A and B are shown apart, each in its own frame.
Chain A
Amino acid sequence: MRISIRHQLSTTPPAGSPNAVLQLLLTPQSGPTQTVESWSVEMAGIGNAERFTDAYGNSVHLVNQRPPEGELVVTIEGVVTTVDRHGVFGRVGPGPVPALFKRVTPLTKAPVSLYGKFRGSKDSRIDVLHALMARVGEVLHSPAQVQSQSQDGQSQSQSQGGPTAAEGEEVAPELPRPPATDYAHAFIGAARALDIPARYITGYLVGDEDDPAAFHAWAEAYDEALGWVGFDAMLGLCPTDRHVRLAVGLDGLSAQPLRAVPAGDGPKEIGVSVEVVS
């Protein structure tokens, strides 16, 4: 699938700040599931930015402005071709050893009710992961859980990344589903509690009738035979060619697309369009 993406974010440093420093994790890489045809990251000061690879293998921009002038807008535009590998990303790249992604972070603490029944399971790891994805979807879709899960929505830019309730939905339209971040964190926390390496993925989603196009988040878990395999618990499926992979991290904080100091009111999403082109 050939996908055209345009994404705009912004951050506004408090007035009078002498210097604003931004870290952008907004550059995708070609890999088994996608080929990046073209990509650009534009903002004032980008010409002087430092680029480097972070500990998770992401391509990072370090941009600064002194003094910053009002709202700083970041515009991303690019074209990526994807293939459907049924979620299998595989064993690629020099990144950290999978076992690192068993590390529990404050954002990835899952309640035992989520994963308890998979403890000591005789099923294959991949079967356990599929069942876990279904379980996370089921628990987070249910209204009672929505509140408790979204209370600790500590992530900033991520929380605006997921779609809100799809329009015209028949079932409980008054209860929006928690953003994609919560599904990813719940799945990752549960997988790690089961001693399975799991990591946080940011990216873009091509919309369909149920879910609009979005800046999105899902998880990848490690299987000895297949390598990294994606699990999108919010959609209840393994990533397809509708998913464009952007960055990897331990959780939503370490894979945050835009981090700024001073933070002001935090990053805002201006708009995202993800369209299939021929």
Chain B
Amino acid sequence: MGDTTPFDEMHNADGSVREPYRALAQWLDEQPDKALTLMQSDAEAIFRKLGITFAVYGSEEGTEKVIPFDVIPRIISAMEWRKLSKGIEQRVRALNAFLYDIYHRQEILKAGRIPEKLILQNSAFCPEMMGLEPARGVYAHIIGTDIVRVGPDEFYVLEDNLRTPSGVSYMLEDREAMMQLAPDLFSRIKVAPVENYPENLRRTLESVAPAGVSGTPNIAVLTPGIYNSAYFEHSFLADQMGAQLCEGPDLFVDGGKVYMRTTTGPERVDVIYRRIDDDYIDPLTFRPDSMLGVPGLFNAYRAGNVTLVNAPGTGIADDKAVYTYVPEIIEFYLGEKALLNNVPTYNCVDEEERNWVLANIADLVVKEVHGSGGYGMMVGPTSTKAQHAEFKRKIEARPDNYIVQPTLALSTCPTYVNAGIAPRHVDLRPYVLMGEEVRITPGGLTRVALKKGSLVVNSSQGGGTKDTWVLED
């Protein structure tokens, strides 16, 4: 960090090609003129056909868009991946242990390692979860850890995303598209598969069925409905897993158990992969005005008759204010040093730190504590003076509502743009499944900032995606 030249994942400083990219570089050299242009337009057609779209909230067109796809894959060596995935596994195990603890004995608070107030007064802490025993003690079964790379050997975790991370369908469809676009590349380069994700998701969900379920557990995917921006993904995953896609009114609670209405009568449901926010899952326990949830669902969960995936209240573990304590959390529960770095985070409540932040705002990234999706944030170096002034005012008015981090020089990958192949900044969201074991899909979703110099990779802000290849040994 601090070095302003971003790390180029394809090239060494002397211009030579880095080892993991050699076969790809050679293939790119062999391609005739216009081949990539053709691939790019074919890709567009494939995605339109697959029907992968997303809704942009607040956009004036307000329509469904195809997320831009870049035809040049991102490549991670087997060795790099082993290191990364070990660090991710450590993190999700520690965060799950943390969740178990804060909803039970709260040893970490008693030990004074995290301020009690930060957890118990936090709106992301769910008091209704206290004392509840989730199957296998797992709270966050599906996690999307956001990672950025800044050097050959230097990775930072930006966010842990333990609520209901989305985007896994893009990871799967990017691979699908890539295999159609460049089948010859896959015969030259051995790439670790990702297409078993839905099968692993199903196995993970089955493994956390409530005790006493005999036979194969019945799984439902609970969606807020077709107006949700990730509805495509909900229906896609249900379809791929062979599970039922349901909306709130399709489910009901009877005698403390959850049933699905079907044409052949009620069918018991054992595990619910819910893509509805905590507040809306059950109007009897949470927001009484929720029309999306199932009345009595939380109580059925509490009584041990159904498993909710992810558990309500996991948001406390990816709260931006709790984030700074993750290295501490890893040490406390696992007795290990964190393998992956946390981005240093400045606390604006502290007057001295705040003054420093205000003086250096042009070099920093400001994020709203409860913001997501690239909304409510400011990247200092790419913002205007007026924006700097606006965020200074915001921080002064509500210092506890913002966290501030240094601007990381996100690594770049070769990307096909109008001018040809050019480096663009990327991040990575690997998908983790935790049930009877931890399963991490090799690679994940690479998001790329298509605008030159931009560091914002969110699809809602003009980002695209790339297929992510983890090389096999």
- Residues of chain A touching chain B, judged by Cβ–Cβ distance below 8 Å, are 18-19, 21, 23, 48-57, 60, 62, 64, 66, 94-97, 99-100, 102-104, 250, 254, 259-261, 263
Contacts and interface: CB of A to CB of B under 8 A. Distances in A.
Interface string B122-144: 00000111111000000000000
A146 B380 CA distance: 51
B101 to A, nearest CB: 12
A40 B300 CA distance: 22
Interface of B: 106, 109, 116-117, 120-121, 127-132, 252-257, 283-285, 288, 295-296, 299-300, 302-305
B120 A103 contact: yes
Contacts of A100: 120, 127, 130
B120 A62 contact: no
Which one of A51, A96, A260 has the greatest number of beta carbons of chain B within 10 Å?
A: A96
B284 A23 contact: yes
B256 A261 contact: no
B299 A52 contact: yes
Nearest to B110: A97
Contacts of A66: 252, 254
A102 B121 contact: yes
A97 to B, nearest CB: 6
Which one of B106, B255, B304 has the greatest number of beta carbons of chain A within 10 Å?
A: B255
Contact of A48 (B127, B255, B296): B255
A14 B299 CA distance: 23
Given A21-B296, A64-B296, A261-B295, A55 B284 contact: no
Contacts of B299: 23, 50, 52, 60, 62
A116 B180 CA distance: 70
A3 B285 CA distance: 31
A50 B213 CA distance: 17
A21 B130 contact: no
Contacts of A18: 252
B254 A96 contact: no
Contact of B120 (A49, A95, A99): A99
A96 B121 contact: no
A54 B300 contact: no
B104 to A, nearest CB: 10
Nearest to B266: A66
Given A60-B299, A99-B120, A260-B284, 11 more contacts: A21-B284, A21-B296, A23-B285, A23-B299, A52-B303, A55-B130, A62-B296, A259-B288, A261-B283, A261-B295, A261-B296
Given A23-B299, A97-B106, A54 B128 contact: yes
Given A50-B305, A261-B283, A261-B284, A103 B121 contact: yes
